[in-house]
Structure 1
Amino acid sequence: MSVFSNSSLFPPPIPAKIQTCKTIKDLQQLHAQKIKTGRIRDPFAAAQILQFYALSDHPNLQSAHLVFTHMEEPNCYSYNTIIRAFSDSNQPLEAIIIYHQMLHDRFVKPNQYTFPSVLKACSREIRIEEGKQIHCQIIKHGLNLDDFVLSNLIRMYVICGVMDDAQRLFKGSVQSKNIFGGIDKSGEGIIVIWNVMIDGYIRIGEFESARKLFDEMPQRSVVSWNGMIAAYAQNGLFKEALEVFCEMQTSDLHPNYVTLVSVLPAISRLGALDLGEWVHKYVEKNMIKVDEVLGSALIDMYSKCGSIDKALQVFDCLPHRNVVTWNAIIGGLAMHGRADDALDHFFRMEQAGVAPSDVTFISVLSVCSHAGLVDEGRSHFKNMVRVNGLRPRVEHYGCMVDLFGRAGLLKEAEELVLNTPMKPDDVIWKALLSACRLHGDTEMGERVARRLMDLAPHDSGSYVLLSNLYASLGNWEDVAKVRLMMKEMDIRKDPGCSLIAIDGMIHEFLVQDESHPRAKEIHSMLEEMAVRLRSTGYMPDTTQVLLNIDEEEKESALYYHSEKIAIAFGLISTNPSATLQVVKNLRVCADCHSSIKLISKIYDRRIILRDRNRFHHFEKGSCSCMDYW
């Protein structure tokens, strides 16, 4: 019988006794019996034992390798099995070594099932030279037009960072498909090749090239859409992620579990509640299982889109909860300033036997900070170490510095920074500098600012905070010095930006923004808001304008903060009972906070504002933060 017959290429029928094996231990007993009776020399039996050891849910590669090395004449199927097993393991180099042995075995030759595994091993080990040699062997064996082999070959070049060779292979494959009859019937092979190439551009951060290729695809799979959505979402391009998701809904393909888990973080960051609710309804309508991952994503979405009550509903309906789902709801409650509820859920988490993680304590300490619960914060910080055995990270020290700073305990905050076991990062120093500005401590503020500028000389945050500290005290000379320093170093402040979603569309506004198509109507509403605010006795807090200009100019500047523009647009674009939800990239200023409280009363509107630190729920002239933020 020829050693190249079909029986050597495909798995032999599974013997009845091997089918009864449920565990590696069962197989070991059968294996011992085969050795004792000498039937291990049967190539079919040996191949099946090898397969069980190598490719089971809990593989035993050491035993698999022993079986393989004792096979008298391993066929192509056996070689492919052991190569695949090692390529998927933490020893991918072993797959390349066995492939080299295969090349020197005169009784076998590699086939279309060999090359994908050995190419994967090259990718995982970043062995580009070996990969190129295997490329030559693929051509030699006439498999360079096989879609499965070709997609793995392109992926190898992509992962190894050799995009020029990947691009040449891709173009050649597209041309060959066009020459030999266009896209194949199923389209699956060529779609995979396009997906691999798009992933390559995403890996190196060339999103425009990836999107161009995506738009040119003759056919797309759900994987194609998911890859593009996830790439945008994971790299902070949230609007682009939503655009692709909305475009997908007009295609013939439907979102799946992976699509939803990928797009929900983008919806969360933009506060697009309408779209988030659509996703939740889609999940329910299509009976998609809400596990811990999807459940956590939905909780996070509702929390960050301002609907904490719906987040609680999702949490309460989850059949199973793990540390991630508990963290999601505790973090959401903390973000909304619901200190009692957050700490209650933390207690329930411990009662349920779920051990809190370091992420849990970030949320717990954060809620203590925003609620001014200094003693509780101290207690949880100590218990984190003594009771839970967790080592505090720099983020936990940052929360404690913020907790002390907000409460006016500046000396205690500075001592904690100076005595942290790790080097304080810029976030900790910024928390302390922000507290110095809040409480008007110029001496400490200058000291902290110098530390920050040494640590992150090109980060605008430290310069802006110091400038604002000087400005709040009317020290315009030092404000000018800081601004000049920023100009000389080409350091630019992040502009204030606010988002509001109306009918599923995201509208973005900057300070004094007049670029919107409805700018005239927005301006009229801003003027109306100013008149009605003054009629209540409101006086603009011009100390929040940190520029050396006259009072009239300061008052005018306050009216055109981005969150007020977004609210004005919301008032003219929604029905009188609709809740307005605004997302701002910076901390809301005191004047905007005071005026939005009054606007919620004047217009009888519920306004939810998410700033850089937390949520503010404005209703009937008051805010959920109780003016402590």
Structure 2
Amino acid sequence: MNSTIYTTPPSHPSSLFPNITLCKTIKHLKQVHAHMIKTAQIHDPLAAAEVLRFCALSNNRDIHYARKVFDQMHQPNCFSWNTIIRALAESNDDGKPLAALLLFFQMVCDASVDPNQFTFPSVLKACAQTSRLKEGMQVHGLVVKYGLDSDEFVVSNLVRMYVMCGVMKDAHLLFIRNLIEFEEGDEVVRNNKKKEEGNVVLWNVMVDGYVMLGSLVLGEFGAARELFDSMPQRSVVSWNVMISGYAQNGLFKEAIEMFREMQMGDVCPNYVTLISVLPAISRFGALELGKWVHLYAEKNGIEIDDVLGSALVDMYSKCGSIEKALQVFERLPRKNAITWSTIIGGLAMHGRANDALDYFSRMERSGVTPSDVTYIGVLSACSHAGLVDEGRSFFSHMVKAVGFEPRIEHYGCMVDLLGRAGHLEEAEELILNMPIKPDDVIWKALLGACKIHGNIEMGRRVAKVLMDMVPHDSGSYVALSNMYASSGNWEAVADVRLMMKEMDIRKDPGCSWIELDGEIHEFLVDDDSHSRAKEIHSMLDEIANQLRLIGYRPDTSQVLLNLDEEEKESALQYHSEKIAVAFGLICTSPHTPLLIVKNLRICEDCHSSMKLISKIYKRKIVIRDRKRFHHFEHGSCSCKDYW
């Protein structure tokens, strides 16, 4: 290897061995190692430690080789022990963290070298990863024995160990004790800004612990938020923990609010922040905020790799801008199975089945192997477009040619595909012959198909299965009640409603929301709580009059209540998506597209009305309901009335 001039300080071990420093691969390192063995230079503890450091901790690490190097060391120093323990503790391979613990206990038993403040963080991390509380408590005792229980880095890892082992009480006690010691320290320490900044790590660990606990017990999110609000200083990690915690547990509104609050402070979002908040933005269809995130990444040099790229594609797809999703996808420098599956799923959601299947073919031609998630998107595309034969063919190919074991989601797509197309008996037979136990989602898909096609007999049978499976879920009761109502059987409707009342089961209210000027406005059915409610109701009346002028009459068969005709018409007028559209019309300039997100499936009357409203007001109206997107423009819908 050529010699070179190096600038590393002479006191640093690596400066003594530039041939190791210049290694680019493990293969190069092995050549240097062999030369050191041949020349007996390897007996120098510093030389051996540098070889170990490279193969254990460099970007080209080889932990198996590192372990061999360590085992051949005659009397490894503390640095070498710390290096191999850290490498094992940080490995994602099964068994390596446990090996780190065993090696640490060997270090303690040999007693030739005492552990120091750099040893314990790795050991505690290994305890946390393996959930070994008993061993972690023993390590805690050693921390105290060696007088390191005031070292911030060690204490932070101690607290994290208790957090990861689910012992929040002990973690909290240790956290409080550390804060008290800090506050009661001498004047120099109390006024040391660096000490305060270092403490933010400990706060982050505790907040993260309460967030994780909140994933199991929802009420604990309050404890996490209270602790977060009490932090004397917050790092980007502090914000990321809260944003991702909210988003991953379905508290999407709180995640977005936290992200907005972050922007008002002096901490800038980073790559992890964007990855964390994009799912929440997707859930609410907050397109403008999603665009801001995309622009922020570009302006601040945050790499839009396959992970962030997939999140952006998903966001644009779910926020109604499938064209922008396609643009982001095409610009990605690298595409993997996740990015391909995301765009295929997005196209399926927008009813662009042929495009979804074309992208699937492109994916195969590009050499990327489709995953089982990819096939969910393909089958979903077939379902939304009524491509029954194609769906059957893809399902068969996935099982017989590719060799994937179908997941519950694949069966769900097939039941949905067959049910929508009216093949109810085939769908039911598929459910009954599945090798895995069907869940309530699959039975709900069949129940929905029974409602669409008016098969009350099968619907009653399926509803009974669901009532036994999920007795407090309102979906099956409401669907059965609606089927009875559509056939005019009000006595049966009353029986179902009475059953719901006795069991205290309440129907989920229809809810729609629209984002305007960065703010999300939510509306329920017959909602008059908005500050501009009078204007909204006035616009709803105008819309109703405009619809009557062109001969449209409300489809009162969609009102599944025993009301007179006038009351039914009034009920239809105040569906949540109509209120959201009316609000959008009065708040935006002419020709501005409107995006509405709805928690339930859009009803037939609203669907028919939206087609005409788009024509009357010359607006593109995009509605994302529970199942898919509807693009209303010039009096027609992208779904071609098949949904």
Q: Structure 1-normalised TM-score?
A: 0.94
Shift of the 315–195 alpha-carbon distance from structure 1 to 2, 3 Å rule, reads same
Q: Contact 2:309 / 2:329 at 8 angstroms: preserved in 1?
A: yes
1:597 aligns with 2:608: no
User: 1:189-235 CA deviation, whole Å, 9 max, x = no partner?
Assistant: 21111110100000000211111222221111111112211111111
Please, which of 93, 101, 106 is the counterpart of residue 101 of structure 1?
Answer: 106
CA distance in 2, matches of 1:490, 1:64: 63
Shift of the 23–400 alpha-carbon distance from structure 1 to 2, 3 Å rule, reads same
Matched residue, 2:485: 471
Please, which of 24, 43, 46 is the counterpart of residue 44 of structure 1?
Answer: 46
Amino acid aligned to 1:336 = H
Please, which of 554, 557, 560 is the counterpart of residue 540 of structure 1?
Answer: 554
Query: Secondary structure, in 3 states, of the residue corresponding to 1:252?
Result: coil
Matched residue, 1:561: 575
Matched residue, 1:376: 390
Matched residue, 1:626: 640
Comparing 343-352 with 296-305, greater Cα deviation is found at 343-352
1:164 aligns with 2:169: yes
Matched residue, 1:4: none
Amino acid aligned to 1:499 = W
Amino acid aligned to 1:312 = L
Matched residue, 2:292: 278
1:571 aligns with 2:585: yes
1:189 aligns with 2:203: no
CA distance in 2, matches of 1:402, 1:32: 63
Please, which of 115, 119, 127 is the counterpart of residue 120 of structure 2?
Answer: 115
Q: Contact 2:88 / 2:99 at 8 angstroms: preserved in 1?
A: yes
Please, which of 246, 251, 256 is the counterpart of residue 265 of structure 2?
Answer: 251
Matched residue, 1:391: 405
Q: Contact 1:183 / 1:190 at 8 angstroms: preserved in 2?
A: no
Matches for 1:453-468 after TM superposition, within 5 Å: 453-468=467-482
Q: Contact 1:177 / 1:183 at 8 angstroms: preserved in 2?
A: no
1:132 aligns with 2:137: yes
Amino acid aligned to 1:236 = G
1:76 aligns with 2:43: no
Comparing 524-533 with 382-391, greater Cα deviation is found at 382-391
Matches for 1:446-525 after TM superposition, within 5 Å: 446-525=460-539
Shift of 1:123: 0.8
Q: Contact 2:325 / 2:343 at 8 angstroms: preserved in 1?
A: yes
Matched residue, 1:198: 207
Shift of 1:411: 1.5
Query: Secondary structure, in 3 states, of the residue corresponding to 2:193?
Result: coil
CA distance in 2, matches of 1:343, 1:166: 52
Query: Secondary structure, in 3 states, of the residue corresponding to 1:108?
Result: coil
Comparing 283-292 with 506-515, greater Cα deviation is found at 283-292
Shift of the 170–372 alpha-carbon distance from structure 1 to 2, 3 Å rule, reads same
Aligned residues: 621
Shift of 1:60: 4.2
CA distance in 2, matches of 1:60, 1:599: 64
Please, which of 299, 302, 306 is the counterpart of residue 292 of structure 1?
Answer: 306
Shift of the 347–97 alpha-carbon distance from structure 1 to 2, 3 Å rule, reads closer
Shift of 1:64: 3.4
Query: Secondary structure, in 3 states, of the residue corresponding to 1:581?
Result: strand
User: 1:144-180 CA deviation, whole Å, 9 max, x = no partner?
Assistant: 2221111111101111111111111222222333333
Shift of 1:425: 1.6
1:437 aligns with 2:432: no
Matched residue, 1:6: none
Q: Contact 2:211 / 2:241 at 8 angstroms: preserved in 1?
A: no
Please, which of 171, 178, 181 is the counterpart of residue 173 of structure 1?
Answer: 178
Matched residue, 2:326: 312
CA distance in 1, matches of 2:445, 2:172: 47
Shift of the 294–52 alpha-carbon distance from structure 1 to 2, 3 Å rule, reads same
Comparing 27-36 with 357-366, greater Cα deviation is found at 27-36
CA distance in 2, matches of 1:71, 1:339: 63
Shift of the 11–612 alpha-carbon distance from structure 1 to 2, 3 Å rule, reads farther
User: 1:344-376 CA deviation, whole Å, 9 max, x = no partner?
Assistant: 212222221222111111111111111111122
Amino acid aligned to 1:349 = M
Unaligned runs of 5+ in 2: 1-10, 215-219
User: 1:411-470 CA deviation, whole Å, 9 max, x = no partner?
Assistant: 121122222222222111111111111111111111222222222222222222112111
CA distance in 1, matches of 2:164, 2:623: 42
Q: State the Cα RMSD in Å.
A: 2.0
Q: Structure 2-normalised TM-score?
A: 0.92
Query: Secondary structure, in 3 states, of the residue corresponding to 2:623?
Result: strand
Amino acid aligned to 2:20 = I
Shift of 1:68: 3.1
Matched residue, 1:18: 20
Matched residue, 1:606: 620
Q: Contact 1:311 / 1:329 at 8 angstroms: preserved in 2?
A: yes
Shift of the 182–571 alpha-carbon distance from structure 1 to 2, 3 Å rule, reads farther
CA distance in 2, matches of 1:152, 1:484: 56
Please, which of 588, 594, 598 is the counterpart of residue 584 of structure 1?
Answer: 598
Comparing 196-205 with 85-94, greater Cα deviation is found at 85-94
CA distance in 2, matches of 1:331, 1:71: 54
Query: Secondary structure, in 3 states, of the residue corresponding to 1:204?
Result: helix
CA distance in 2, matches of 1:514, 1:609: 21
User: 1:65-113 CA deviation, whole Å, 9 max, x = no partner?
Assistant: 3443443322211221122122123322222222223223444211110
Amino acid aligned to 2:365 = Q
Matches for 1:328-367 after TM superposition, within 5 Å: 328-367=342-381
Shift of the 45–137 alpha-carbon distance from structure 1 to 2, 3 Å rule, reads same
Percent identity over paired residues: 67
Shift of the 14–125 alpha-carbon distance from structure 1 to 2, 3 Å rule, reads farther
Shift of the 282–31 alpha-carbon distance from structure 1 to 2, 3 Å rule, reads closer
CA distance in 2, matches of 1:307, 1:39: 64
Shift of 1:322: 1.5
Shift of 1:11: 5.7
CA distance in 2, matches of 1:108, 1:590: 77
Shift of 1:184: 4.0
User: 1:287-330 CA deviation, whole Å, 9 max, x = no partner?
Assistant: 32221111111111111111111111112222222221111211
CA distance in 2, matches of 1:305, 1:65: 50
Amino acid aligned to 2:398 = M
